[in-house]
Structure 1
Amino acid sequence: MSDQKACRMPDILRTESGEERRVGVEIELSGLSYETLVQLSEKLLSGQARQASRYVAELDTDLGKFTIELDSDPIKDLDLQDERLPQSMRELGGQAMEFIDAAAEKIVPLEIVSPPLPFTSLERVEALCDELRKAGALGSREALYYAFGLQLNPELPDLGADTLVRYLQAFAILYDWLKSRHQIDISRKFTSYIEPWSSTYTDMLIAGDYAPDIKQLMRDYLKYNPTRNKALDLLPLFAHLDKAVLAEFVEDERIKSRPTLHYRLPDCDIDNPRWHFSTVWNDWVVLEQLANNAEDLAELREMFRQSRKLSIRNLTLSWLDTCEQWLRNRDYV
């Protein structure tokens, strides 16, 4: 039996302080009842669940605290004794709640939110997703109104401006390739959750002489992208770096400060037997490797800049094809 791991590891596994880098994982799905998902997660993660509130369970494991929840605040917080509700609904009590529960579990995603996990522990997430598929979990492809994602919150090697610029440049260059790899379901294409960055901002970012400090980097980004709804959302990181600068452009109580990127692009296609958590993670590792190879990043960045100019060549050859071939030639994929 092969002991080869499904999840690839990037070359840089530790932060500048010497700690192993970590990543938070958010998995949206349906097809299982809330209670079933809690019980399965408890078993598969060898944890102990406790009910934190309606439709929110906290699961203590050796990896830290996972949260399993129905991803809809109005339903999680619903109180049938609330005087603002119709009298008829309050009188029905438990029967009304059973009806609401049944409807909610059909159209509102259930979500598993991990604690920050060491990169080297991600085989556990791979196994969790595979077992949930076997149990009947459904992903985005199951219905038009499903727009389920698998989100990653990877910790950076350090928070220096030059490191951030490299990661942002790598993402801008690879955006079309990543989008094609994830085969974004039509239900998510119709949403505004995973928009690309402003084209004007991208041109600024990939300029050969772009070397801002942290405050300027934040202001450049926020001038053109003042929203959470981006395929790579930087607002949690910016809240961690400098809340005052963020507040110049965005006021949103949903933004949670954390020293990570927030990668929102991938679907959760968990019921597809050809899809695995590792397929998403390993594509992210391609970005990691490119961001931390200065020579390759400079070469591909220049090719990307040229691809954005009007020319006969660019009318006949797509950037996606060019990028894919370059990555293969350099053994990134």
Structure 2
Amino acid sequence: MTQSSDCKMPDIMNTEGGDERRVGIEIELSGLGYDALVKLVARCLDTEPKLDSRYVTKLATDLGDFTIELDSDPIKDLDLADQRLPDSIRELGGQAMEVIDAAAERIVPLEIISPPVPFSHVTRVEALMETLREEGALGSREAIYYAFGLQLNPELPDLEPNTLVRYFQAFAVLYDWLKSRHQLDISRKFTTYIEPWSSKYVELLMKDDYNPDQAQLMRDYLDSNPTRNRALDLLPLFAHLDDELLSEYVVDPRIKSRPTLHYRLPDCDIDNPSWHFSSVWNDWVVLEQIAGNASHLAELRALYRESGKINLHNLTHSWLETTTEWLESRGYV
């Protein structure tokens, strides 16, 4: 599989324990049948597929196990050959499942879920995405009922509250810029999975003296955002930090504990020749670099607070324009 070298790397590549940071990647797409997708990804990753259950396949690689599945639990779990069903239904099971399969592959996304990939190896995901496009994979723009995403789950350098605050602040000030670059299709704007954090929470987060401990950090967020449905979903991280505290606000079996952020804003626009995984990744690296640069982060936060005031600049410039100009002036883009 040909590798790309377009993926940039952040300055902080290792965790506080010295291990290289990793990122889990989730890719939703259509345009290929399930079996065809499995065979294609297996060939790209130079491995053999192993069917775990209907519509769930594992592919063992040197990076760990990739998973390919149909992103719909009811269809994955459906079994019309179940012995508990009446004979009349089971006799029709094979034909019925063929119809269901054909329909599902048209309107339900297929999903590729990576293992935690070392940052230095994300170029392999870029190469996989390019191959998928060449073979006919489709993304969100293909039809109004497609709302496919590309989700990143980057491991944090450490889990200290002041580190988390910096990442949260960097995301909050860059949200409009990131959305303008990676929210491409109107279909996903009808979903609730890409909502920004509440303005009340962002206002608190932007204060110069905001210095909470872990419990207060979690409560401040959860008081205004007790939901998975955010463009940067913090609930998996909070489940890892303090599941008992999280359960005071949200109980949802879909929340998976992990020491990562869950960035779910970008569309998967894989059939667009000018769209690349590296573009999404490199914009996340911009956030990484700003989170690690105290003076630049302070500048952006000050500009954000200033943007809420009534003055000539704010009357003639949107926050998106201000952010873009600042990023260009500092050499980030």
> Which TM bucket (shorter chain)?
over 0.9
The answer on 1:40 being equivalent to 2:53 is no
Q: 1:192 to 1:64 in 2, by over 3 A?
A: same
Once the two structures are superposed, residues 109-161 of structure 1 have per-residue CA deviations (whole angstroms, 9 ceiling, x without a partner) of: 00000000000001100000000000000000000000000000000000000
- The residue type paired with residue 29 of structure 1 is L
- 1:48 touches 1:61 (CA, 8 Å); kept in 2? no
Tell me the equivalent position of 2:299: 299
Contact 2:4 2:123 in 1 (8 A): no
- 1:313 is displaced (CA, Å) by 2.9
Matched, 1:257 2:263: no
Aligned partner of residue 52 in structure 1, secondary structure:
strand
Q: In the alignment, which residue of structure 2 is the partner of 1:129? A: 129
SS in 2 for 1:58: strand
Change in Cα spacing, 1:87 to 1:195, as seen in structure 2 (3 Å) is farther
Structure 2 gaps, min length 5: none
Matches for 1:149-160 after TM superposition, within 5 Å = 149-160=149-160
The SS at the match of 1:93 is helix
CA contact (8 A) 1:25 1:115 kept: yes
**Counterpart residue number, 1:59:** 59
User: Residue 312 of structure 1: CA displacement?
Assistant: 4.1
In the alignment, is residue 14 of structure 1 matched against residue 20 of structure 2? no
**Identity level (%):** 71
**How far, CA to CA, are the matches of 1:186 and 1:215 in structure 2?**
37
For the residue of structure 2 that corresponds to 1:104, the secondary structure is helix
Amino acid at match of 2:45: L
C-alpha root-mean-square deviation of aligned residues, in Å? Answer: 1.5
- SS of residue paired to 1:242: helix
Could you tell which deviates more after superposition, 75-84 or 250-259?
75-84
One-letter amino acid of the structure 1 residue matched with residue 54 of structure 2: R
Provide the rounded CA distance (Å) in 1 between the counterparts of 2:31 and 2:136: 6
CA separation of 1:200/1:83 partners in 2, compared to 1, >3 Å: closer, same or farther?
A: farther
- Counterpart of 2:75 in structure 1 is 75
Deviation of residue 70 (structure 1)? 0.3
- Cα deviation, residue 89, structure 1: 4.3
Secondary structure at the counterpart of residue 209 of structure 1: coil
SS in 2 for 1:57: strand
Shift of 1:62: 1.0
Q: Determine the C-alpha separation between the residues in 2 that align with 1:113 and 1:14.
A: 23
Letter in 2 for 1:80: L
Conserved in 2, the CA contact under 8 Å of 1:139 and 1:148? Answer: yes
1:60 deviation in Å?
0.3
Q: Alpha-carbon deviation of 1:310?
A: 3.5
- What CA distance in whole angstroms lies between the structure 2 residues aligned with 1:95 and 1:129? 33
Secondary structure of the structure 2 residue equivalent to 1:35: helix
Q: Deviations over 1:39-77 (max 9, x none)?
A: 000000112210000000000011110000000000000
Matches within 5 A, 1:124-273: 124-273=124-273
Structure 2 residue aligned with 1:50: 50
Question: Is contact 1:177–1:324 with CA below 8 Å preserved after alignment?
Answer: yes
SS state at 2:236 partner: helix
Q: When the two structures are superposed, what TM-score results if normalisation uses the length of structure 2?
A: 0.97
TM-score using structure 1 length:
0.97
CA contact (8 A) 1:89 1:96 kept: no
Between Structure 1 and Structure 2, how many residues are aligned? Answer: 331
Counterpart CA distance in 2 for 1:274 and 1:145 is 22
Relative to structure 1, the CA distance from residue 308 to residue 79 in structure 2 (aligned partners, 3 Å threshold; closer, same or farther) is same
